[in-house]
Amino acid sequence: MRWFDCYRMRLLLIALIITSVAGAVSGQAADSETNSAAITAAGPRLGPVVVVEVTFPDRDALDELARAGYDISNVQGNVATIYASLEELERLKQTGYPLREIEQQSRQEGFDIMALGSYHSYATLTEELSAYAEAHPDICRLYTLGQSVQGRELWAILISDNPDDEEDEPEFKYVSTMHGDESPVTEMCLYFIDLLLTEYGQDERITNLINSTAIWIVPLMNPDGLELSRRSNASGIDLNRNFPLLTDSSGNIFTGEPLDAETRQPEVRHIMNWTVENSFVLSAGLHTGSLLVCYPYGYNEQMSAVDTPTPDDLLYEEISRRYSMHNLPMWNNRPDGIINSARWYPVIGEMADWNYRYVSCNEVTIEISNNKRPSASQIPALWSDNSESMLSFLEAVHIGVRGIITDRASGEPLWAEVLVEGNSQPVFTDPDVGDYHRMLLPGTYDLVFHVPGYVPVEWKMS
């Protein structure tokens, strides 16, 4: 842990304001250009939704499908899985591409059994989470982030050694089941919560993790979708196409556009507000339907299925492998079990892109099963494939450099931007404590610290 002192200088503040205004203006044009496509890709799809597999001839044809706004959920070789309204299905048939209807989304049976290794409903999940929080009051809190379209709570569990205090600790999150028909990942979260809470004080590795990290888990981001057995929320919107699209010029929470949460679907709005409040460092969105870890960016201006790296591409590959290397089926599924999101297929409005661009949280998307909802008897095997991966990925939140930035005179924590020279991606301090956590691969780095109104400070670290 290091302390950095800063000195006030008004001139710098003025320069910073000019820079951020210029950034915001140039970002707006790009945003409005792509908004119509974002709405089409997200929905709404209010009537029946059919899941189809479309065999496309080449990558250009895949790009065309993405640009046309179809809700693609998976691509394997030359086959794309698409969630289509009946009208979209007709348009797809007109392409002449071979097409196979997989299912029409309807309510599935088999909920309401309350035990690990079975599928939970919203009601039994709620009971289970409340019971965990009650049984482990020293290290666990249950919060609601807000309500879904149909009034169900978006539950969030916090596990940490002092759960009521803001501490100099990195904050981590798993957000699960933003697609309502992918409930195995909700069950993985319950197993994970159970593991952390029951092994605290018993297992040294888990005890250390809880003592040094604020661990958040949202087991069910789309409770209405779960109850309706469908991908979208109750308004027919794909929540993983509903986050703000941010381009390089539109800035971030520190220098850029306002949050813009109010215009979003309620489930997305609650996740955005909570994410901003908690200064997350590392995160994963959990899904089923494929078997890989994909990492930003998912969007590029051409909407083309090409590699679209962030400034932290090597770091992203490393943390993605930390998950995939402990999951044998995933590791064997494709090279290292990882891929750049846009290279897989391009998307607009993904949660991971927004986390990285706007709040500088490193987020990946993890797909744990080719079968979206295997029979309940498969759940224990899925957990054994994913338990070490979930722990190892969480541990990665501690790689890199960290410190606290305070005002030298008052000792008050500061909201600051931390930049690594040669890398355009900033991170920010948590203004509650002033701590920052810049995930980095081993190496020697020059860091620069900016606080509006203070002289920038440079620091060498290795």
* Contacting range for Zn ion; rule: CB under 5 A; set: 77-85, 174-182, 207-215, 447-455: 174-182
Q: Report how many residues bind Zn ion under the rule CB under 5 A.
A: 3
| Closer residue to Zn ion, CB minimum distance, 291 or 405 | 291
| Closer residue to Zn ion, CB minimum distance, 351 or 379 | 351
Distances in Å between the Cα of 432 and the Cα atoms of 308, 437, 451 are 34, 14, 15
Residue number, nearest CB to Zn ion: 287
3-state secondary structure of 87: helix
| Count, residues in the chain | 462
| Closer residue to Zn ion, CB minimum distance, 298 or 452 | 298
Is position 241 an interface residue for Zn ion (rule: CB under 5 A)? no
Amino acid at 155: W
Mask for 324-343, x = binds Zn ion (CB under 5 A): --------------------
Residue 4: CB partners within 8 Å, gap ≥ 6?
Answer: 403, 404, 405, 406, 449, 457, 459
Question: How far is the C-alpha of 56 from the C-alpha of 98, rounded, in Å?
Answer: 8
Instruction: Please report how close the Cβ of residue 177 comes to Zn ion at its closest, in angstroms.
Output: 8
| Catalytic annotation, pick one of 367, 412, 421, 458 | 367
Instruction: Please report how close the Cβ of residue 364 comes to Zn ion at its closest, in angstroms.
Output: 13
* Contacting range for Zn ion; rule: CB under 5 A; set: 116-124, 171-179, 193-201, 415-423: 171-179
Instruction: Please report how close the Cβ of residue 73 comes to Zn ion at its closest, in angstroms.
Output: 6
Question: How far is the C-alpha of 367 from the C-alpha of 361, rounded, in Å?
Answer: 19
Instruction: Please report how close the Cβ of residue 79 comes to Zn ion at its closest, in angstroms.
Output: 17
**Would you tell me the crossing angle of helices 204-212 and 184-199 to the nearest 10 degrees?**
100
Question: How far is the C-alpha of 156 from the C-alpha of 272, rounded, in Å?
Answer: 13
* Contacting range for Zn ion; rule: CB under 5 A; set: 172-180, 184-192, 217-225, 428-436: 172-180
* Contacting range for Zn ion; rule: CB under 5 A; set: 88-96, 159-167, 182-190, 449-457: 182-190
Helices (H), 69-145: 86-94, 122-135
With contact defined as beta carbons under 8 Å apart, do 119 and 69 qualify? Answer: no
68, 73, 78, 79: CA torsion to nearest 10? -100
Measured between its terminal Cα atoms, the distance across the chain in Å is 13
To the query of whether residue 262 is one of the catalytic residues in this protein, the response is no
* Contacting range for Zn ion; rule: CB under 5 A; set: 123-131, 178-186, 220-228, 348-356: 178-186
The DSSP code sequence of 251-268 is --TTTS-----TTS-HHH
Is position 230 an interface residue for Zn ion (rule: CB under 5 A)? no
Question: How far is the C-alpha of 446 from the C-alpha of 195, rounded, in Å?
Answer: 39
| Closer residue to Zn ion, CB minimum distance, 167 or 182 | 182
Mask for 363-392, x = binds Zn ion (CB under 5 A): ------------------------------
| Closer residue to Zn ion, CB minimum distance, 371 or 424 | 371
| Closer residue to Zn ion, CB minimum distance, 279 or 333 | 333
Instruction: Please report how close the Cβ of residue 40 comes to Zn ion at its closest, in angstroms.
Output: 18
| Closer residue to Zn ion, CB minimum distance, 287 or 438 | 287
Instruction: Please report how close the Cβ of residue 48 comes to Zn ion at its closest, in angstroms.
Output: 19
Instruction: Please report how close the Cβ of residue 302 comes to Zn ion at its closest, in angstroms.
Output: 24
Is position 287 an interface residue for Zn ion (rule: CB under 5 A)? yes
With contact defined as beta carbons under 8 Å apart, do 355 and 342 qualify? Answer: no
Is position 179 an interface residue for Zn ion (rule: CB under 5 A)? yes
3-state secondary structure of 3: strand
With contact defined as beta carbons under 8 Å apart, do 233 and 222 qualify? Answer: yes
Where on the chain is the footprint of Zn ion (CB under 5 A)? 179, 182, 287
> What amino acid positions are annotated as catalytic residues?
367
